[in-house]
Amino acid sequence: MSELTTQPAAPAEAPSALPAAVTAGITANGAAGHAARRGSGLRKGIVAIVALVLLFALPFVSNTYVVFVVSLTLVYAVSTLGFNLLVGWSGQIGLAHAALFAVGAYGSSVAVAAGVPFLVTIPLAGIAAALLAVVIGFPAIRLRGFFLAIATLALGMAIVELLNFAAPITGGGGGMNVQVFALPGINDAASTYFIVLTVAAIMFFLVRRALVGRFGRTLQAVRDLGQLSGSLGVSALRYRLVAFALSGFVAAVAGTLYAQLQTFIFPAMFQMNLLVPMLVMVFVGGAGSLWGPLIGAAFAIVLIEFFQDLGDAQAIAYGIVLMVVIALLPGGLTSLFRTLGSSRFAQRLYRRRASTEETS
Amino acid sequence: MLLEIDQARTGYGSLEVLHGVSLTVAEGEIVTVLGPNGTGKTSLMRLLSGVLPLWSGRITFGGRELGRLTPDKRARLGLCQLPEGRGIFQTLTVGENLDLGLSARRVSAATARTDRDRVLDLFPELAGRLAQSASSLSGGQQQMLALGRALMSAPRLLLIDELSFGLAPRIVRDLFGVVRELRDTGVTFLIVEQQAAALKVSDRTYILRGGRNELTRDSSELLDSDELVASYLR
Amino acid sequence: MLQTLVSGLESGSWFALLGLAIVVVMKAADVPNFAMADIGLVATYVGISLAGAGVPFWLAVVTTLVTGILLGVVIDVALMRRLAKYGHFPLLLMTIGLSLALTALTGLVWGHDPRSFRAPWTGAAIEVGGGVAIGVSQIVSIVVGLLGAVAISAFFTTPVGAQMRAVAENRATARLVGVNAGRLSAIAWGVGGLIAAVTVMLQAQSALVSTLTPASLIIYGFVAATMGGFTSLFGTFAGGLVLGIIQQLVGTYISTAAQFSVALLVVFLVLVLRPDGFTKGMRLRDV
């Protein structure tokens, strides 16, 4: 039977046995991987700390516009981190991300208006969005490829539409003012920037922790094997749902920061005109690296700022740059899908199965 | 030689499945490839049809190196395949399935009609069911349809992956009878099988094991030594 | 009430046709084409410009159709084909980028003012009694929509159509059998472009179109396609008509602001309750 497990069109054997095999492979490989990574991890850690210190110095050496743009980049980077987790790591094209981002922005702003301290609303909005993401993901998760994309797109749009209808709370299509939280002693822009930077650093750290370890590898394995075998067992579906929840949490956290940064929010901000740049950020950033979201966000921000106030020319430029990037880097995402680690892991998994079946 | 495979290696991702397999098929021959499950028989078929890339080695068909030709181009060269699990399109009618074989070549409507009549003569069971959905056919009839469809593309070499798959012995015998008949009309066959039954119709047999050539014999020779075959197929 | 129904059927015909265009490309090329309505708009604007420059009406119509076909084929060959091997995501993103660029390009060349494609019958109406009049252009939309659906169904029974259905069912096996998937995909994009051109042209001979048209039309097209499970032609067509009528009823009796939300709700319900399209069960029973 071992040949079956090595082949894409294999019958039911592989999927049902999958979770156990995945877990077995992970526990076996986890320890070795950690030891090998520790050396370069230290160097990377130093680089990260130096970068952080430099970033913290930024408001003292530049003007508010630069501070705003860097803040926005960081917010998008956090949002992309979550989107990447869903699209890149778990392989699901869920398109409700802009809506979950909106849930964070509105959830936090409404709660702040009701008297809840802003810093408390960050995790609260995140948890609410995570629950909502599960509600969105639950029916959608059985859908294949593009159907998932379309179902989640429709749901996301519906959520944004709801913001229009909930005018008494959200101000409807006219939008609402956001009470900006300010740290004592510094101006608003710098204060918001510091909060954005701190939260972004925490989110990067948390997502990194989650993805570098066993969870990330399982997600990738579920994604890769899912592509091969077509159907998945219950446990694999649970992993995909967890990916939805985490990605929703991160999206909403980014959304809370976004509202603080914009100081005024309205539903139309969170429609396709936000989703498209978000997709671009994920695409450009690629799925494997944790710095990818930052690069993707910076790329999109430059594009947006650069082509601002050009009207139609902006949209054309945007569309064309997007098309050129896809044409030149079609594997931008997929090449990273098959990162060395994951393919080696999958390979070892196959070998393990093959050898155990042959000896038995 | 119609088909020559020399030291072919291939696999999935970075996992090597075939570690240098060599094999030849002469014009008009029926060659079988036997081996237990997991030895890379299906991978060999996929390699030949262009689904899997050739990592190293050489494959020539009719003197032409196949290289990176896509599956549909190979089919148009006359290297046709009866895929594993038959590959019948359930949402198409029996007639439409048959005519799909024509997509591998350019023919006049008249030629298409005579070819179709010839195939239906071979499988009279299909003749009355052309307008039916292919999903209404029995397993044996589906295999006939798959074989018929492959014949519609006027193959020079027909690759068959498990003709006997899931079929009753009597039906398998009938189908192998058809294979022999077709050989007499000039079709060459490369048949991958898990069952030794295929030996009865074939001229030569390759036995694969663990992605390598294990043994090459005339089929008649293997037929006489049941234990030998059985030991390899275990 | 009759007026509402006819208006619903009219816009429903547009949704249905665009949904069919989406399904054709989805079947053969496995891409959800977010630029479909933009292709139709560009083609229609070419026709409107020609007609405005004094070109005879029917010649302008034919040019529009040809433009739609050419746009579809060129996009597939020049942009989409090389991306196919990289999976779904780049393809999806490419059609989105294309949609942005085409809409903006249209705005740059033709401006953002709404336009119409005046047909000889534009403005004419038929009295049906009781003071109710039905526009000839509405009837044209409904009849052409119906004919279009029949033509597309007929197309899928031709040898090329059968190959497309085979590719839709199992791309890998179809290629093994010798089906040239690249050629089929170009044909599908051409047919899709043709239908999209017809759709927007129908809308333009009855109402106004502008650069805002594609954004909503494409969503409704996708709703219709979803109702057909992205495979059933009948389901897509019926879905489009039902959607048109629902939209019209919601617009008349509730509010036009709710129309969009109702459409989204329909997609969600269909995908959750019947992921294979709402006619799936019916078709099985027929067999």
How confident is the model over C162-214, as pLDDT tens digits? 999 999 888 888 988 889 888 999 999 999 999 999 999 999 999 899 998 99
State phi, psi for C62 to the nearest 5 degrees: -60, -40
Contacts of A351 in chain B (CB under 8 A): 15
Rg of chain B (C-alpha set): 17
Let me know if residue A47 belongs to a domain: no
Report the pLDDT value the prediction gives residue A122, as an integer from 0 to 100. 94
The answer, for B72 touching chain C at a CB cutoff of 8 Å, is yes
Average pLDDT of chain C to the nearest whole number: 88
Considering only CB atoms, which chain C residues are within 8 Å of A159? none
Sequence ranges of the domains in chain B? 1-78+156-234, 88-154
Dihedral sign, CA of A250, A253, A259, A260? negative
Of B224-233, C134-143, C151-160, C235-244, least confident by mean pLDDT is B224-233
Extents of the domains making up chain C: 2-115+128-286
Residue B135: closest CA among chain C residues belongs to which residue? C287
Give me the residues paired with residue B24 across strands: B4
Q: Least CB-CB distance to C89: which of A87, A154, A162?
A: A87
Give the chain A residue nearest B18 (alpha carbons). A3
B72 and C175 within 8 Å at the Cβ level: the answer is: yes
Long-range contacts of A242-245 (CB under 8 A, 24+ apart): A242/A215, A243/A85, A243/A86, A243/A89, A243/A90, A243/A92, A243/A219, A244/A86, A244/A92, A244/A94, A244/A133, A244/A134, A244/A136, A244/A137, A244/A141, A245/A130, A245/A131, A245/A133, A245/A134, A245/A137
Query: With an 8 Å Cβ cutoff, are C159 and B103 in contact?
Result: yes
- Distance, in Å, from the CA atom of A251 to the CA atom of A244, rounded to the nearest integer, reads 10
Q: Say whether B80 sits in a helix, a strand or coil.
A: strand
Q: Is the dihedral of CA A27, A29, A35, A41 positive or negative?
A: negative
What pLDDT, on a 0 to 100 scale, did the predictor assign at position A225? 63
Q: Which residues of A touch C (CB under 8 A)?
A: 9, 87, 93, 139-140, 142-143, 145-147, 149-151, 154-155, 157-158, 161-162, 164-165, 272, 276, 279-280, 283, 312-316, 318-320, 322-323, 326-327, 330-334, 337
Which single residue is written with the structure tokens 């072919």? B8
pLDDT at position C59 over 90: yes
pLDDT at residue A233 in the model: 58
d(Cα A183, Cα A193) in Å, to the nearest integer? 10
Of the partner residues A139, A143, A319, the one whose CB lies closest to the CB of residue C97: A319
- Using DSSP bridges, classify how beta strands B157-161 and B79-82 pair: parallel, antiparallel or unpaired: parallel
Residues of C in contact with A145 (CB under 8 A): 88
User: Per the domain annotation, does A333 fall within a domain?
Assistant: no
Range of the domain at A116: 62-268
Would you say residue A39 lies in a domain?
no
Give the span between the Cα atoms of C176 and C280, in whole angstroms: 28
The CA dihedral of B50, B51, B54, B55, to the nearest 10 degrees, is 160
Q: Would the pLDDT of C286 be above 90? A: no
Beta carbons of A139 and C271 less than 8 Å apart? yes
Q: What is the dotted CATH code of the domain comprising C2-115+128-286?
A: 1.10.3470
The answer to whether the CB atoms of A330 and C101 lie below 8 A apart is no
- CB pair distance less than 8 Å for B89 and C166: yes
Within 10 angstroms of residue B64's Cβ, the number of other Cβ atoms is 11
Chain B CB contacts of C162 under 8 Å are 92, 96, 99-100
pLDDT tens over chain B, length 234 residues: 899 999 999 988 778 889 999 999 999 899 999 887 778 888 899 899 888 889 999 999 988 898 888 888 898 889 998 887 778 999 899 999 999 989 888 888 888 899 899 999 989 989 989 999 999 998 889 989 999 999 998 899 999 988 888 888 888 888 888 898 888 888 899 999 877 777 888 899 998 888 888 888 888 777 777 777 777 666
SS3 A105: helix
Query: Who contacts C17 (Cβ-Cβ below 8 Å, separation ≥6)?
Result: C145, C148, C149, C195, C198, C199, C202, C240
Domain count, chain A: 1
Paired strand residues for C226: none
Strand duo B3-12 + B157-161: pairing: unpaired
Judged by CB atoms closer than 8 Å, whether chains meet at A3 and B15 is answered as no
Instruction: Give the Cα separation of B34 and C123 in Å (integer).
Output: 75
- Domain B1-78+156-234: what homologous superfamily? P-loop containing nucleotide triphosphate hydrolases (3.40.50.300)
Q: Nearest-CA distance from A139 to chain C in Å? A: 6
Chain A residue numbers touching B84 (CB-CB < 8 A)? 9
pLDDT of C247 over the 60 cut: yes
The answer to whether C93 contacts A158, with C-beta atoms less than 8 Å apart, is no
Nearest to A281 by CA among A58, A85, A45: A85
Which residues are registered as beta bridge partners of B190? B31, B159
Q: Tokens for A211?
A: 């993805």
Confidence of residue C41 (pLDDT cuts 50, 70, 90): very high
pLDDT of residue A353: 45
Distance of CA B74 to the CA centre of its chain: 14
DSSP A177: E
pTM, 2 dp:
0.80
- Percentage of chain A with pLDDT > 90? 21
Q: Count other Cβ atoms within 10 Å, centred on residue A23.
A: 14
Report the DSSP beta bridge partners of residue B65: B60
Q: Which residues of B touch A347 (CB under 8 A)?
A: 13-15
Residue in B76, B96, B133 closest to C178 by CB: B76
- Alpha carbon dihedral C179, C181, C187, C191, in 10-degree steps, equals 110
Nearest to A316 among C26, C89, C108 (CB): C108
Closest CA of chain A from C86, distance in Å: 6
Task: Say how far apart CA A154 and CA A5 lie, in whole Å.
Answer: 36
CB-nearest partner of C100 from A164, A315, A326 = A315
Phi, psi at residue A9, to the nearest 5°?
-85, 20
Structure tokens at C64: 């529009």
Place of tokens 């526990």: A27
Residue B20 phi, psi dihedral angles, 5° rounding: 95, 70
Mutation for testing the A interface, residue in C109, C270, C271 having most A CBs under 10 Å: C271
Neighbours of chain C (3+ CB pairs under 8 A): A, B
- Residues 270..299 of A with a Cβ closer than 8 Å to B: which? none
Nearest CA in chain A to C265: A158
Contact state of A8 with B39 under an 8 Å Cβ cutoff: no
How many other CB atoms are there within 10 angstroms of residue A194's CB atom? 18
Is any Cβ of chain C less than 8 angstroms from the Cβ of B116?
no
List of chains touching A (3+ CB pairs within 8 A):
B, C
Tokens of B27: 């014009």
Identify whether A254 is part of a domain: yes
Q: What is the rounded (10 degree) CA torsion for A182, A183, A185, A189?
A: -50
Mutate one of C177, C230, C231, C233 to test the B interface: name it (highest B CB count within 10 A): C177
Check if B78 contacts C (Cβ < 8 Å): no
A44: number of CA atoms within 13 Å, CB side? 10
In C, what residues contact A, Cβ < 8 A? 26, 32, 79, 82-83, 86-90, 92-94, 96-105, 107-108, 172, 215, 219, 222-223, 226, 230, 257, 260-261, 264-265, 267-268, 271-272, 275
Contact residues on chain A for B12, CB-CB shorter than 8 A: 6-8, 350
How is the beta sheet containing B30-34 ordered, strand by strand? B79-82, B157-161, B188-193, B30-34, B204-209, B212-218
Query: Which has the closest alpha carbon to B97: B148, B154, B49, B161?
Result: B148
Among C16, C210, C31, CA closest to C106: C210
Q: Which residues of B touch A (CB under 8 A)?
A: 12-15, 17, 37-43, 84-85
> How far is residue C272's CA from residue A1's CA, in Å, rounded to a whole number?
36
Type of residue numbered A270: F
Residue pLDDT tens, chain A, 360 long: 333 333 333 333 333 333 333 333 333 333 344 444 455 667 777 877 887 788 777 877 778 888 888 899 999 999 999 998 888 888 788 889 999 999 999 999 999 999 999 999 999 999 999 999 998 887 666 676 677 888 888 888 888 888 888 888 888 888 898 888 888 777 778 888 999 999 998 998 888 888 877 777 777 777 766 554 444 555 677 888 888 999 999 999 999 999 999 999 999 888 887 888 888 888 877 655 667 788 788 877 877 777 666 666 777 777 887 788 777 776 554 344 444 334 444 444 444 444 444 333
pLDDT tens-place string over residues C201-240:
999 999 899 998 998 899 899 889 888 888 888 989 999 9
* Nearest alpha carbon to residue B44 among B67, B17, B13, B72: B17
Q: Which residue has the tokens 């075998």?
A: A229
- The answer to whether B223 touches B197, Cβ cutoff 8 Å, is no
Shortest alpha-carbon distance between residue C163 and chain B (Å):
7
H helix or E strand, kind and range, residue B52: none
CA–CA separation, A182 and A160 (whole Å): 28
Query: Distance (Å, rounded) from C-alpha C29 to C-alpha C164?
Result: 9
CB pairs under 8 A between A and B: 38
Question: Letter for the amino acid at A213?
Answer: G
